[in-house]
Amino acid sequence: MEQLYAERLKRYVTAMRNEKPDMIPIRPFVAEFTAKYAGYTCQEVAHDFEKAFVAARKCAADFDWDAVVGNMVYVWTGLTQAIGLKYYGVPGIDIPPDTGFQYIEPPPEKAFMKPDEYDQLIEDPTGFLFNVWLPRVSPDVAAIGEPASYRNNLSFLKGGMAMLSYFNAFGKQNELLRTESGTVSAISGILKAPFDIIADKLRGYLGLVTDVMERPDKVLAACEALMPHLLHVALSGADPDKKVPIGLWMHRGCVPFFSQEHFDKFYWPTLKPIIEEIWAHGHQVLFYAEGDWNAHLNAFAELPEKSIVYHVDKADIFEVHKTIGHKFCISGGIPNWLLSNGTPDEVRDYCKKVIDGVAGDGGYIMDASAIVQDDAKIENIKAMTEFTREYGVY
Amino acid sequence: MAKQKKPKRKPGVCIPWEEKKKELPEISGDEELIKKVWEDIDGLGYVYIWQCLLSF
């Protein structure tokens, strides 16, 4: 098993360095699909991470995949409930047990950060998160000045212990993936762009749309204030062996959610230096470009060669390959709608088209376009896997 | 990143050791040991809030 693991790690890392391995590595980011395959509900894998781990390992053992994430249903709703976080739709509580967990963005007037609070965030991001943001996202947490409560104290105690328990369990999960099926843990560490995190969890998308017009200097200063913290978190979770990348989850900083001008002014100048610094430390970053970021390929091409792996969701993968394929490894590009609604033959045809178009010189990793949920047909995931193994040998 | 303004509270830190030290009587033992353990555990508090923001 250890030899298989070594072969897969070499294959995966070689492709990520934009070189040609022995065959195309397969690294599907499978989330609720694992539940479907292993016979669990969405509620079970969201709320009981041990079941999610079992499901991920079952898929890894049964499919010939080189690398996976130990639990792509990453948000353990037992933990979010312990903290009291109110922005998730939890399967079996807020939504049906057969629906994947949902993020619920509040309306602009109930955003977790108010428009006149930028200076507080800029002055002390960590203090702002503890003192202002957390009490807003968790009704259990008392705001500064409010009396402490039983529920407040328990939120920190249970939340802290649950988070530690969850993170520690990943070490064991990754070891089991290695020893049971020779599967590589695909990523290590987390990064989000400063601009994206303001939209995601602080001002909300609509709030930020207003802010870039009405208080652009504050938005830029807030992005800059977040930069050193996001860098620190990314590096503290990075692979000490510097083999697998840090995951960058790209959300709504692109055209058409924002204009090219806003991307150039806010998003890129406050993300690019983080990527360059991470690369200076010897780590790659996986740009998980959810949606279509092709309007910004020329910006990404400014980054040092091999510093990123670029994952393609809804964008034209052939344009991606043409524009940045000479510098960076590409992954993904097999549409989720096809995996959900197509036939195995159609999946094979699409995989052939992608492999022929972008994988000829190596530097390509097979994956679906977006995280695979329980709508994907098992026979289509098998077809994607088996065809890549048959056709993707160099 | 070199051009960035120095943050008031450094990354990885919730309560700086220098601030905590002022609350303590004169340290007769190994200050470096106490400082290291303080900072290691303080860092867990930092992980908690930033992971809440980024991951959960």
Digit-coded pLDDT (tens) for B13-38: 999 999 999 999 999 999 999 999 99
Task: Specify the residue for token string 């943001």.
Answer: A133
Distances (CA, A) of A270 to A3, A219, A267, B7: 41, 11, 6, 15
Q: What is the pLDDT of residue B8?
A: 81
- Strand A329-332 to strand A364-365: parallel, antiparallel, or no bridges (unpaired)? parallel
What distance in Å separates residue B37's CA from the closest CA in chain A? 17
Chain B residues whose CB is inside 8 A of the A126 CB are: 9, 13-14, 46, 49-50
Digit-coded pLDDT (tens) for A154-199: 999 999 999 999 999 999 999 999 999 999 999 999 999 999 999 9
Identify residues of A whose CB sits under 8 angstroms from chain B CBs: 74-76, 79-80, 83, 85, 123-127, 129-130, 133-134, 137, 156, 159-160, 163-164, 190, 192, 197, 201, 224-225, 227-233, 236, 273-274, 276-277
Q: What is the pLDDT of residue B7?
A: 76
Chain A residues whose CB is inside 8 A of the B48 CB are: 156, 159-160, 163
What distance in Å separates residue B12's CA from the closest CA in chain A? 7
Closest CA to A166 of B47, B29, B39, B37: B47
pLDDT for B4 beyond 90: no
Which value does ipTM take for this structure? 0.96
Q: What is the pLDDT of residue B2?
A: 61
Digit-coded pLDDT (tens) for A55-71: 999 999 999 999 999 99
DSSP H helical segments within chain A, as ranges? 2-16, 32-38, 42-47, 49-62, 77-83, 118-123, 125-128, 134-137, 150-181, 194-197, 204-214, 216-236, 260-262, 268-280, 297-300, 317-324, 336-341, 344-358, 378-391
Out of B4, B46, B54, closest to residue A190 by CB: B54
Q: What is the pLDDT of residue B3?
A: 63
Chain A residues whose CB is inside 8 A of the B56 CB are: 75-76, 79-80, 83, 85, 163
Distance from C-alpha of A140 to C-alpha of A42, rounded to nearest angstrom = 26
- Strand A246-250 to strand A329-332: parallel, antiparallel, or no bridges (unpaired)? unpaired
- Segments of chain A scoring below 50 in pLDDT: none
Local confidence band at B6 (pLDDT 50, 70, 90 cut-offs): confident
Tokens of residue A46, six digits: 């969201």
